[in-house]
Structure 1
């Protein structure tokens, strides 16, 4: 008889027979244009991951695809480009330009690259990843992250990872394929569309193509980069203007054209500013760029890669010294195709979808996106005040539920795992049209997926725990060698089933309208420590002498501002939210420790039944000091332990 002993990753026992804390590799950065949004997501993890269950290991994926284990002190920076590559490693010729990423440095040897990596952390080879982590939490977006490539790498390395698998990821990054398949399966995509390849676009008669496109799709036209994240390389052409059309297509190809007149009219400082904008991954095309060489007679001499901004300026100066043609610049990470779609009119929505342990699907309350830009592009998605979000979307309840059912059907049909976000339109003629699928939704502090999950009771910390747990569960079901992951899943399941996890002491956080952000931070800080279960008490002062106390749902902490909190203190729960709470009950019973669906007026007697601990954040104007001082005194009188 043979006995086979299997040891995998870091699943070893300590002397006290308990498993080591699960090491969560938090992967962020990456190759894509959304790398700085990914950095924001990793920051969120650092503030919300339950540290009584998990040990975070932060891994920067640099834009050349290398893994670097970094200290979380780097999250004090506002952007990856502010600390990597280090200022000392950037040549002087870049001094007037930003951002500078590692792929922008010319003649970078392996030795120099490693030296730069070691200045910010510890480089980790791919084959050694499993020595550092037990699970990969993916905070990356776009190409080489959301397209199945990274998922395939982790499958090969037998490291469990968060979110969807290879097939659903690679399918969802392809906007054209989404349209074709959804249309054939009647899953809600009936938009007219057309494609053109980069090579065809360069050769075609632009005016003739534009006229043909208008006859098929009409105006406005949505113009997209079909293999990028949902908000990258997107334009809406409203006007019947050929020049604007060509510019929009170039935006989706991550190309720029500049004429001799445009360039020669710029002063040297203006030329530097032009290149500086060009270097931006959000507003420009980034460096390095590919410059199409032309001969004196206008013939094509091939392509040249240019890394340095000053060398690009020199190249353009030289080119326009002999050529009257436009200079064409392509991003090194350009698209090969452009997708054109008819523009839908109606209410735009985004709907998160999750699942329980039995793989039954729950659609969260769909959010209505109200933008000032007509399209939910990068700026509308990530810049403050560029868009408003309403939960749920303002349409009849039965139509909200219909959206949820449609999103559930897509999730199930394409075998998504753990979490996805599905975007669409409820059109003016009452159709539900699906426009995009995201397998790695953004995880910034007030992202849509967090806000929607909060409506059914998940705090950000609870949701991160759910994401790890359910992703592990999915890997156990889908991995080719599931026994590698089963022990880890059982370990986490045991921790969550432990009565101590749900019966931790509660602590009340007291705040008023002047310190909303501080209250959110305090809530996340306590929740992520995993030692107590926090809840927030909003102190509303009336007539400068009386206070009313409200125990708030966690969803109120994710509202965009305190004004929206105050406006909704007395509102009833929307029927669609009630419906979703019921559907999600099995999940929230397991993951959520203290759930209230609407603000609850409470008294000191109620409070005393809930907890004996309080955190006092109030720093009120003088005219409210008396009422709030009285409240604080009363808390002491009923035996509360109050921490300032």
Structure 2
């Protein structure tokens, strides 16, 4: 009998657009001979499965089951490819924990923590050979005086971003103090990010993104790194999703020492944050010092054909089908 997989997509934020693209690619790559895959769309309006005849079937949220032609379908595992709320911030994971359904991503606490960039930095800042940029975490109560708080504590240039956002939505680079108020407004007003803002001093260096996951044998597998070279001011939403604006080199051209250090740092980040499944860590390699600076961790990284993780899986010699099967099997035994 095939394993029944609920492939979760959609979402409550602007990142839903990317979720649909990611889940379409994952669906196309999963081994249908081994897995019976149901694409479940979760939106603020409904949780539903649309069958091949375009018929909609509402999920029973009591036990996350389906009723199709009077047959009750229970899933063996949830494969979460939902970026942003509620799939990346721990809400869906907490629900699945309560009903006892295994899933492929990090647990509820880790997912919730890592959506908060400021809190994540506090947990990983003492990891050996890992550095974090000077920063200020602003809450909604700080909004009236946010510019003055930043000026008193940080130096230009700066990155201003929603503390709980993704896909660089609401993020700006600030080169002058005159640019700061608008950047703060953009970050505070970004949809579904909790009205918290993280402001960080700019680190000049090469930018990398690297995946890591735990396989079905319990072993950590670090994927080859990707270097990101963009024609934009920084790797913003347009650079991420507009063809031609960014050059992505996988595997990255780094020396053996840099590779070994990056691999060990990323493993320690994964362990320190108690991660599960696949995650992606973004970091800078500072030009002057050759030191690694943490940017952020993504616990539901993009899975479009152009996304970093599929690139890295291919560069590692694996197929996407093998990789996604490994994530499903690891979730079933965890």
TM-score by length of 1: 0.49
Q: Does 1:69 align with 2:11?
A: no
Q: 1:125 aligns with which of 60, 65, 82?
A: 60
> What displacement does 1:230 show?
4.8
CA spacing shift, 1:160–1:225, aligned 2, 3 Å: same
Q: Which of 247, 250, 271 is equivalent to 2:182?
A: 247
C-alpha displacement of 1:154:
0.6
SS of the aligned residue for 2:136 comes to strand
**Candidates 216, 220, 239, aligned match of 2:153:** 216
Q: How many residue pairs end up in the alignment?
A: 326
- Paired with 1:380 and 1:426, the residues of 2 have a C-alpha distance of 20
* Structure 2: gaps spanning 5 or more residues: 66-72
Q: 1:55 to 1:357 in 2, by over 3 A?
A: closer
* 1:348-399 Cα deviation digits (max 9, x unpaired): 0001012233422121111101112232222222221221111232332211
- Please point out which of 465, 469, 472 is paired with 2:329: 469
Q: Is the 8 A contact 1:367 1:389 kept in 2?
A: yes
Matched with 1:233 is 170
Distance 1:72 1:121 in 2: 10
Aligned to 1:438: 298
1:44 aligned counterpart, secondary structure? helix
Aligned positions of 1:201-350 closer than 5 A: 201-202=143-144, 204=145, 206=147, 209=148, 213-214=150-151, 216-241=153-178, 244-254=179-189, 333=192, 335-350=194-209
CA contact (8 A) 2:251 2:315 kept: no
Tell me the equivalent position of 1:47: 28
Residues 129, 396 of structure 1: alpha-carbon distance in 2 compared, 3 angstrom cutoff = same
Corresponding residue for 2:70?
none
In structure 2, relative to structure 1, the CA distance for the partners of 1:384 and 1:71 (3 Å cut) is farther
- Deviation by residue 1:171-190 (Cα, 9 ceiling, x = unmatched): 21110011112224446233
Please tell me whether residue 145 in structure 1 is matched to residue 126 in structure 2: no
Q: Does 1:370 align with 2:229?
A: yes
Correspondence for 1:422 = 281
Give the Cα–Cα distance (whole angstroms) in 2 for the partners of residues 382 and 449 of structure 1: 15
Q: Distance in 2 between matches of 1:187 and 1:166?
A: 28
Query: d(CA) in 2 for partners of 1:215 and 1:473?
Result: 50
Deviations 1:497-545 (A, max 9, x none): xxxxxxxxxxxxxxxxxxxxxxxxxxxxxxxxxxxxxxxxxxxxxxxxx
Cα contact 2:40–2:47 (8 A) shared by 1: yes
Larger relative contact order (Cα-Cα within 8 Å, sequence gap ≥ 6): 2
1:35-62 per-residue CA deviation (whole Å, 9 max, x = no partner) reads 0100001211231111100111111101
In structure 2, relative to structure 1, the CA distance for the partners of 1:218 and 1:205 (3 Å cut) is closer
Task: Considering fraction of residues, name the structure with more helix.
Answer: 1
Question: Partner of 1:55: helix, strand, or coil?
Answer: strand
- Do the aligned partners of residues 198 and 158 (structure 1) sit closer, same or farther apart at CA in structure 2, a change above 3 Å counting? same
Q: TM-score, normalised by structure 2?
A: 0.91
Match of 2:297, SS state, is strand
Residue 379 (structure 1) aligns with: 238
* Cα 1:356–1:343 shift into 2, 3 Å: same
- In the alignment, what sits opposite 2:69? none
Residue 3 of structure 2 corresponds to residue 22 of structure 1: yes
Is contact 1:423–1:437 with CA below 8 Å preserved after alignment? yes
Q: 1:205 to 1:375 in 2, by over 3 A?
A: closer
Partner of 2:130: 188
Give the ranges of 4+ consecutive aligned residues of structure 1 lying more than 4 Å apart after TM superposition: none
Q: State whether structure 2 residue 216 is matched by structure 1 residue 357.
A: yes
Query: Offset at 1:72?
Result: 5.5
Measure how far apart 1:334 and its partner are: 5.2
1:179 aligns with 2:114: no
* Larger proportion of strand: 2
Cα contact 1:450–1:463 (8 A) shared by 2: no
SS at match of 2:64: helix
Distance 1:397 1:72, change over 3 A: farther
In angstroms, what is the RMSD of aligned CA positions? 2.0
Call closer, same or farther: CA 1:61–1:240 in 2, change over 3 Å.
Answer: same
Q: Aligned equivalents of 1:424 and 1:462: distance in 2?
A: 27
Question: Helix, strand or coil: the match of 1:248?
Answer: helix
Q: Is the 8 A contact 1:369 1:390 kept in 2?
A: yes
Deviation at 1:336, TM superposition (A): 2.4
Q: Distance in 1 between matches of 2:110 and 2:163?
A: 16
| 1:102-161 deviation per Cα after TM superposition (whole angstroms, max 9, x unaligned) | xxxxxxxxxxxxxxxxxx611122114243422111110112211111111111111111
More displaced stretch, 230-239 vs 396-405: 230-239
Q: Equivalents in 1 of 2:136, 2:49: separation in Å?
A: 43
- Taking a change above 3 Å as real, the CA distance of residues 469 and 342 of structure 1, as seen in their structure-2 partners, is same
Q: Distance in 2 between matches of 1:234 and 1:350?
A: 18
